[in-house]
């Protein structure tokens, strides 16, 4: 299983701080997607997409960066079609 780290709005404090969540995954692509969609649809917006991407990249090993970029592009294309 892969060890992934992502941001989660479910792990919020009353002060509104978002914590990183570490999980084991057999489907990194699917789990990154679920986490990104959750964060974008909860309260982050288009203006915070770059910050969200940097969060995922900073929290995860470089070996996952290609998957993170691919999922990010797919999610943005699905949620914000041209």
| C-alpha to C-alpha distance for 43 and 38, rounded to whole angstroms | 9
Sorting pLDDT into bands at 50, 70 and 90, what band is 43? low
pTM: 0.75
Cα-Cα-Cα-Cα dihedral sign, residues 66, 71, 74, 76: negative
Task: Report pLDDT digits (tens) over 10-39.
Answer: 444 445 556 677 888 899 999 999 988 888
Q: Report yes or no: 6 and 27 within 8 Å, Cβ to Cβ.
A: no
Residue 21: beta bridge partners? 6
Query: Which residues are CB-neighbours of 58 under 8 A, at least 6 positions away?
Result: none
Task: Report pLDDT digits (tens) over 69-82.
Answer: 999 999 999 988 87
């Amino acid at each position: 299983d892969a060890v992934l780290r992502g941001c989660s709005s479910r792990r919020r404090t009353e002060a509104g701080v978002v914590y990183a969540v570490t999980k084991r995954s057999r489907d990194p692509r699917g789990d990154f997607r679920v986490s990104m969609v959750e964060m974008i649809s909860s309260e982050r917006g288009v203006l915070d997409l770059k910050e969200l991407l940097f969060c995922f990249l900073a929290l995860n090993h470089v070996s996952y960066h290609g998957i993170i970029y691919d999922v990010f592009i797919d999610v943005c294309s699905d949620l914000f079609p041209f």
